[in-house]
Chain A
Amino acid sequence: MGNGATSVKIDATAGGAVRVDDPERALAAINGLNEPETLRQARRLALERFRKLPMPSRKSEEWRYTDIANLRLEDFEPAIPGLDGDRPKGSEPGGLDELESVPEPVREVLARSRERSGVWVQVDGVTVYHRLDDDLAERGVVFASISTVARERPDLLEKYLFTSPIPEMEEKLWAAHVALLSEGFVLHVPRGVRLPTPIHTFRCITKPGTLVSTHSLVAVEEGGEATCIDEFMSPDLPETSINLAGAELFGGPEATLHYIALQRFGTGVKHFGLQHVTSQRDSRLAGVNISLGGDLSRADVTSHLEGSGSESEMLALWFGDRTQHFDHHTLQHHAAPSAHSDLLYKGALTDSAHSVFRGLIRVEPEGQLTDAYQTNRNLILSEKASARALPNLEIKADDVRCSHGATVGQVDSNQLFYLMSRGLSRRQAERLLVFGFFDEVLGRIPLEGVRDRIREAIETKIGISTSSLTSA
């Protein structure tokens, strides 16, 4: 993120009013929040769970390679707008169509393409910009902050918010996520409505030492269609900040949903993505995770195939440098017959970066005629980089086709030699080959505009421009 972002002034968070290690004060602060009781109740319950649960330790299989036992979430300043009863400036619905509060890097991205059905921007937990195409609003599409939806469409929250089953390994972080929720958005696409262009949201962290908890709730009803990009960014921070990003994605019968999380935080950020996908009959859902930034980036992605004939595509790319640590955990949960899931996660690592992939295909006895695939490929580009891959299968139905594969290797030396013989430096050639390695995933992302946005982000990250190479 460029310089503009840091100059944004938001003084919405009240200093340290919710300290989870001080239950009395925390409760009082939650009760003082100007939000519907249902949300406050969810926070209270989550706070209680958070205090009871231990931090995940490396003794559990799910956290074997990522050590957060000493990460005290209690030590971070939760960014919760409206603490002490103050309504943050400009959070009124409809009053956020001015770009003045939007950080410069976001404006830059927005300026590059106008093909968006809606935009929502959050800075340090505060909503600063929001827009939805009028005709979509007229057709019943809901796209707004959770606090707004809580007042105007409580039924939607009742039906969907925090309803996903949370696996044990994720409970502690999920409890913190709910209890300390800064703000999130809801996208609800009514039956049969198709969004012509993507919804694009931005979450920016500008302050060190904070904990931002943000939520994406996307529900596409029967036959509806939507594409949603969640982009996460920050400048390099001098001290650690935490980002807890929950996502609940629901696909009704025959619905189509593409969800892309583009994580490009600066240094200093520890990011935890907690994504839950639930698919009904004959729906088609694709979840894409592009992980580029942060010091630690963990994504827990669960896909529940609950309806027969549902399809779930799970894609991810990561590029790690410095001492970055990436950890992707996935579950393809086949609880219905004739469902199809296909996972392709690819990562490239240089410097002293580490990556972990742990994926599980679980086929329940009801999951006859399941087709499930899982592939993890890793490229190691330096001596100190390392990769862990744990592709797991648990199959309790017999009439299934399941396979998984994992590889760890290097860029092809012949290809490297060829590119270098054409005048590219080793680094350039290597990076170009990484791009080629990523192309298999990029090629499966629908909508050219979305693909371009991801390609740009990767180019920035790995320091190479494919367009400049081809035009040169």
Chain B
Amino acid sequence: MPRNETIAELGLDEYGYDFVTEDKPVFKSRKGLDEEIVRQISAHKEEPAWMLEFRLKALEIYESKPMPEWGGDLDQLDLDEIYFYVRPQDRMQHSWEDVPDEIKDTFEKLGIPEAERKVLAGVGAQYESEMVYHSLKEEWEQQGVIFESIEDGLKKYPDLFREYFSTVVPTADNKFAALNSAVWSGGSFVYIPEGVKVEIPLQAYFRVNAEQMGQFERTLIIADEGSEAHYIEGCTAPVYTTDSFHSGVIEIVVKPNARFRYTTIQNWSNNMYNLVTQRALVEEGAYMEWLDGNLGSKLTMKYPSCFLVGEGAHGQILSIAYASDGQHQDTGGKVVHVAPNTTSQITSKSISKGDGRASYRGLLKVYEGATAAKSNVECDALLLSETSRTDTYPYIEIDEETASIGHEATVSKVGDEQLFYLTSRGISQEEAMAMVVRGFIEPIAKQLPLEYAIELNRLVELEMEGSVG
């Protein structure tokens, strides 16, 4: 294990969450990936034969696909140096008391237990590669809501699981989706029954903790007809000395007239490669919203997608990216209009600071037959220093005569007049800058539950420290 001294040596100790908890993995696969490791993972999880087959086929596809040449720089990413599976404990925990002290300690630093006791209903806390703690409010159980670790989802609800698993993100979708399909471990399985409205957000905190460990979470969510729910995934990770890698797959099926919102606030440490495939299939009259906040990681490539396959479906993507020194946030969103009268909106806000680079990459596709589809995309970029960079790469593909599509993007710096006004009111330069930035992201921050909005603002403040001058 690396020690805190190493972190101090690297000058990374200003990072807000760089505490390291000593962990005791029970089983750790060797570095790199081959068929043997995939078989081990499947055996450890006591999976049915079809899942092992699925994983092995995915491994083949993964190996046959080239690394993507677009987006961020993946040259430094050495997949042979990564542990593809680590499991800290043998069994899942069902009550807080059973959770090991060192893990509790990590959560305490994040303020989770407080939130947990008060408002949080079900917490699937992912420590290393598996869910170690999982609770669900009683009333939801009575409503028939399923909120399990993905492994338990497969064990307890094999038919439901198999019906939807890998239907939204096929294995061959992209290289990293194939990789995840081969080695997935951890993540959530959620089912909201017909007509059930879950008032309090479902939340899953997770952390990556072992050095060089791969994290391949896989989440499958089914929101049945007319249901409503909000799922929150947030993460902060301690800083480590070598590059880490996270490659998740999130699949969501939003059935007719259901409403689902998925929120991610990502604050991985600045050595993390975060390559995630998130996609929702949105059926007739349903509403899907992605709220995607990317603050951490070395490189994030993540484009939450909505496939609007049912008439009148609506997709909404709110994306916020903060790229500071050494970071590249290559994020955005994709909306594919397949059915008539579908509507969508993408709002992206990015901030680049130091030598950070924020790229918006998006796809807006309207198939022929998606009559009267409407979509609007807005991207705003804020540049905070001379060396920072921003890019906008939208793809707009329209095959439908009656579609109406708009895309707009602006790039600007913090106005001298704004800063002058604030500083002339006695506000320090630093605070003035933070205020302008907070104002810039406000349209997205206000969509978040209160705790997250506060946390986001706090993170922005932390990030803004020393950014003036």
Contacts and interface: CB of A to CB of B under 8 A. Distances in A.
A378 B412 CA distance: 26
Interface in A404-422: 404-410
Among B398, B406, B408: residue with most chain A CB under 10 A = B398
A289 B21 CA distance: 63
Interface stretch (A207-215, A337-345, A380-388): A380-388
Contacts of B404: 407-410
A411 to B, nearest CB: 11
Interface residues of A, number: 35
Contacts of B402: 410
A389 B396 contact: yes
Given A388-B398, A392-B391, A395-B383, A403 B409 contact: yes
B398 A391 contact: no
A353 to B, nearest CB: 12
A401 B411 contact: yes
A116 B2 CA distance: 78
A214 to B, nearest CB: 33
Nearest to A357: B396
B393 A396 contact: no
A349 to B, nearest CB: 9
Contacts of B164: none
B428 to A, nearest CB: 21
B411 A406 contact: no
A394 interface: yes
Nearest to B359: A394
Interface in B182-222: none
Interface in B408-446: 408-413
How many B residues touch the partner, as a band? 35 or more
Contacts of A388: 395-398
Given A400-B413, A403-B410, A390 B396 contact: yes
Given A387-B398, A401-B411, A392 B406 contact: no
A399 interface: yes
Contacts of A136: none
Among A378, A400, A409: residue with most chain B CB under 10 A = A409
B391 A403 contact: no
Contacts of A397: 383, 386
Contacts of A384: 368
A397 B409 CA distance: 16
Nearest to B375: A408
A2 interface: no
Given A400-B413, A401-B411, A401-B412, A409 B405 contact: yes
Contacts of B381: 393, 395
A408 B398 contact: yes
A168 interface: no
Contacts of B399: 386
Contacts, number: 111
B407 A403 contact: no
B405 A391 contact: no
A365 interface: yes
B408 A405 contact: yes
A452 interface: no
A33 to B, nearest CB: 41
B398 A393 contact: no
A391 B394 contact: yes
B392 A393 contact: yes
Contact of A392 (B366, B394, B412): B394
A158 interface: no
A400 B391 CA distance: 13
A244 B402 CA distance: 35
A61 interface: yes
B70 interface: yes
Contacts of B397: 386, 388
Interface string B377-396: 00001011111111111111
Nearest to B377: A406
A165 B197 CA distance: 60
B73 interface: no
A405 B406 contact: yes
A179 interface: no
A402 interface: yes
Given A391-B394, A395-B383, A408-B405, A402 B410 contact: yes
Contacts of A398: 383-388, 413
4 interchain residue pairs of minimum CB distance: A393-B392, A389-B396, A398-B383, A402-B411
Given A381-B401, A386-B397, A395-B383, 6 more contacts: A388-B398, A390-B396, A391-B409, A396-B389, A398-B385, A408-B366
Interface of A: 61, 365, 368, 378, 380-410
24 contacts: A368-B386, A378-B398, A381-B401, A383-B368, A385-B401, A386-B398, A387-B398, A388-B397, A390-B395, A392-B391, A392-B392, A394-B389, A395-B391, A398-B386, A398-B413, A399-B413, A403-B410, A405-B408, A406-B406, A407-B404, A408-B366, A408-B398, A408-B403, A409-B406
Interface of B: 70, 366, 368, 381, 383-413
